[in-house]
């Protein structure tokens, strides 16, 4: 995937929904696997997250 900027709104929403389902299932199986907020924010600030892994803006 090149970028979320080139996706249609429907494709972007589908990707976010798939990611939410996947993350929810992961947390149901192993709740302690979460990542500290500091780590997530640092990764996002440095651009090291793939577009599919980036949290959806509210």
1-25 pLDDT per residue, tens:
556 568 888 999 999 999 999 988 8
Q: Which of 43, 54, 47 is nearest to 4 (CA)?
A: 54
Q: Decide if 49 contacts 43 (C-beta within 8 A).
A: yes
- Band the pLDDT of 45: cuts 50, 70, 90: low
Question: Could you give the 3-state DSSP secondary structure of residue 36?
Answer: coil
pLDDT tens track for 26-38: 878 776 656 777 7
Q: What is the pTM of this model?
A: 0.44
């Amino acid at each position: 995937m090149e970028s979320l900027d080139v996706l249609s709104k429907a494709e972007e929403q589908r990707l976010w929904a798939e990611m939410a389902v996947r993350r929810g299932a992961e947390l149901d199986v192993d709740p302690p696997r979460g990542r500290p907020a500091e780590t997530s924010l640092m990764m996002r600030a440095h651009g090291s997250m793939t577009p599919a892994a980036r949290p959806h803006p509210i």
